[in-house]
Amino acid sequence: MIEELLPATVVAVEAHGDEPGDGAYGAGGLGSATLYPEEQALVTRAVPKRVREFTLVRACARRAMEKLGVPPQPVLPGERGAPQWPAGLVGSMTHCEGYCAAALVRATDLASVGIDAEPHQPLPEGVLDSVALPTERTRLRALTADGPGVHWDRLLFSAKESVYKAWFPLTGKWLDFSEADIEFTAAPGPHPYGTFRARLLVPGPVVDGRELGYFDGRWTVRRGLLGTAVSVPHQPA
């Protein structure tokens, strides 16, 4: 699911279900999903569900490292919990009930990447008010009228998560839900999918000497899940 939302230079590995290799990209699945000692120390008091998700998404990340020719290594959280990737790589991870994925790319190919997956269900009551700008709520009402088969409120939440995951490695700063205005475009096809643009309402990151005013992304709905992804290219000279 996530792979189709990203450029060909990005290696995406995903798994459906709670077991390594169940539906994962790549021949042979993910093999035995285990944690490095320093990773294990981070979840010693976590509930079993949290440990499974933490372990499996890191198995996805290590398979992606292997596909890029990088020796597998621990993935530890840095500032604000953002994953710390091996030198020369940028990437993102996501997990929700029954699904996880990791996407990695060489830093020479993309400046940043952000991915998110969510259950294709409405947001809990009251959450949309804290996530959406007035202009976005207006657009969501129109989208719902035209495409009632998509839970646009959850899609907006997911897109903002992907935007933040791409934003933070470039800036080291928090980005509030109210600081990006997202507009979706839907494309015709056998399943719902399309693109989105996130207009940044605060000064954007500087990439290759140019300040960015927006991020572009893609979205899809598959198998009871929705996925979003943002790719930040390098700026031409």
Q: Do residues 155 and 100 share a domain?
A: no
CB 52 within 8 A of CB 22: no
Q: What's the confidence (pLDDT) of residue 33?
A: 78
Most distant CA atoms of the chain, gap in Å: 51
Q: What's the confidence (pLDDT) of residue 26?
A: 36
Q: What's the confidence (pLDDT) of residue 24?
A: 41
Please count the structural domains in the chain: 2
Q: Do residues 225 and 193 share a domain?
A: yes
Q: What's the confidence (pLDDT) of residue 18?
A: 58
Q: Do residues 99 and 123 share a domain?
A: no
Compute the average pLDDT of residues 1-14.
Answer: 95
Domain stop point among 73, 107, 141: 107
Rounded Cα gap, residues 128 and 113, in angstroms:
25
Compute the average pLDDT of residues 81-101.
Answer: 94
pTM of the model: 0.91
Q: Do residues 32 and 57 share a domain?
A: yes
Asked, for residue 78, whether it belongs to a domain, the answer is: yes
Q: What's the confidence (pLDDT) of residue 236?
A: 78
Phi and psi (nearest 5°) for 15? -140, 135
Q: What's the confidence (pLDDT) of residue 223?
A: 86
Q: Do residues 157 and 182 share a domain?
A: yes
Query: What residues make up the domain containing 158?
Result: 117-232
Asked, for residue 112, whether it belongs to a domain, the answer is: no
Mutual angle of helices 134-146 and 152-171, in 10-degree steps: 140
Domain stop point among 83, 107, 131: 107
Rounded Cα gap, residues 158 and 179, in angstroms:
15
Asked, for residue 237, whether it belongs to a domain, the answer is: no
Q: Do residues 29 and 68 share a domain?
A: yes
